[in-house]
Structure 1
Amino acid sequence: MVRALAQRGGMPLVQQTKLVTAASELGRNMIVYGGGGTVRAALVEDGGRSGVWVEFRDEGPGIPDVDLALTDGWTSGGGMGLGLSGTRRLVDEFDLDTSPAGTTVRVIKWNR
């Protein structure tokens, strides 16, 4: 769905790949740590620029220490520790809201 929106919006292949990689990581986190959830995505425009907005929402336990979770090299599992911090670098806008009632991450990748 994310790649199809990026293609429909005329996003170049490199930008598509960055967005799809970020979406894949956030989707995986939503399933593994949040127990599943919902994903919404749309083409967006702002001031003459266009892009793709994607939201990941779960009702899991939340992220206890956001600063730590966004630190390169830190992992809560057996991975390389590049999940959230790497995802944040792949997109142009990154917004994370978390509480014990769940986590919502919204990203935008602008067309370049």
Structure 2
Amino acid sequence: MNALFEQMITLASAEEFLDFFHLEYDQTVVNVNRLHILQRFHQYMRQTKGLGEMEEVLQHDTCRELLARAYQDFVNSSAVKEKVFKVFRDAEGIKTVSLDSLRDAMPARGLKAA
């Protein structure tokens, strides 16, 4: 593992990552989207071919750009629209079920119809 990744491992919050890469940010955006920003950053890093083999300066600059892009995704959009986490992606497939259909599907609890 190279020095950049060793330094990044010590970072614990979105603010620490943004400060580490000297990126300006709006605290309200980070407060609402911190986990989403970090997850998107991780996704962008995984999608970047050869990131681990880059020279350290290029690697740092690339990671900085990826984090800036991840942060900007949530300045311009929302967690629900970006669907970074599985729970948001799965929510699109949820269909509503009416109470009447639930009642019809439940067995009668020993009640006799009059």
Q: TM-score over 0.5 for the alignment?
A: no
TM-score, normalising length from structure 1? 0.30
- Higher RCO (CA-CA < 8 Å; seq separation 6+): 1
> Which structure's CA Rg is the greater one?
2
* Higher relative strand content: 1
* Higher relative helix content: 2
TM-score, normalising length from structure 2? 0.30
